[in-house]
């Protein structure tokens, strides 16, 4: 339904948590290389528990490769400098939810990529730098899924 795209993630535990998130919410997870870890990393495996086989996971050699594979209609780039709060977006199935790496977020060129529909933020208190990557992806994905009536979920 939704597609999460991590641009050059660095911390295996965050990607492991995103693997589990994608599995339980029916999303695809896309990773852009270089990754800061091996997909065989024990911390990634531990954070993803036994959900690895239940997740649609794609690794792309570059952002251009990801765009080619995804063919997105809409891309929402999440950044602390976003213009729009995440709750103001009317999400649609197939949307790409783009997140940057843990240490410094999305590079300026990616934030300005013409494929980016909007630069979006998750509100935080002043003087806070950032939220955890996996937590931010969870917040956004569940809002998008909520807007779709939690399609496919157990009730």
Residues 51, 151: Cα–Cα separation, whole Å: 20
Residue in this structure with the two tokens 């979920």, named with its chain if needed: 153
Of the chain, the end-to-end C-alpha distance in Å amounts to: 18
Supply the pLDDT for residue 143: 98
Express each pLDDT in 91-121 by its tens digit: 999 999 999 999 999 999 999 999 999 999 9
Express each pLDDT in 10-61 by its tens digit: 999 899 999 999 999 999 999 999 999 887 767 666 655 577 677 889 999 9
User: Which H, E and C letters describe the chain, residue by residue?
Assistant: CCEEEEECCCCHHHHHHHHHHHHHHCCEEEEECCCCCCCCCHHHHHHHCCCHHHCEEEEECCHHHHHHHHCCCCEEEECCCCCEEHHHCCCCCCCEEEECECCCECCHHHHCCCCCCEEEECCCCCCCCCCCHHHHHHHHHHHHHHHCCCCCCCC
Given 3.40.1280.10, 2.120.10.30, 3.40.50.720, 3.30.540.10, which CATH number is that of 3-147?
3.40.1280.10
Domains of the chain, residue spans? 3-147
CB 19 within 8 A of CB 44: yes
Q: pTM of the entire structure?
A: 0.94
Residues 19, 74: Cα–Cα separation, whole Å: 22
Express each pLDDT in 138-155 by its tens digit: 999 999 999 999 999 987
């Amino acid at each position: 339904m939704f597609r999460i795209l991590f641009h050059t993630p660095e911390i295996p535990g965050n990607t492991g948590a995103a693997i589990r998130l994608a599995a339980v919410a029916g999303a695809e997870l896309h990773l852009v290389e270089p990754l800061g870890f091996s997909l065989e990393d024990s911390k990634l495996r531990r954070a993803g528990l036994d959900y690895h086989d239940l997740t649609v996971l794609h690794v792309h050699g570059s952002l251009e490769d990801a765009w080619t594979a995804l063919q997105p209609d809409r891309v929402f780039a999440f950044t602390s400098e976003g213009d729009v709060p995440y709750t103001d977006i009317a999400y649609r199935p197939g949307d790409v939810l783009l997140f940057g790496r843990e240490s410094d977020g999305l590079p300026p060129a990616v934030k300005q990529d013409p494929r980016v529909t909007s630069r979006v933020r998750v509100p935080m208190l002043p003087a806070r730098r950032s939220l955890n990557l996996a937590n931010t992806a969870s917040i956004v994905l569940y809002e998008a899924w909520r807007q779709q009536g939690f399609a496919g979920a157990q009730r």
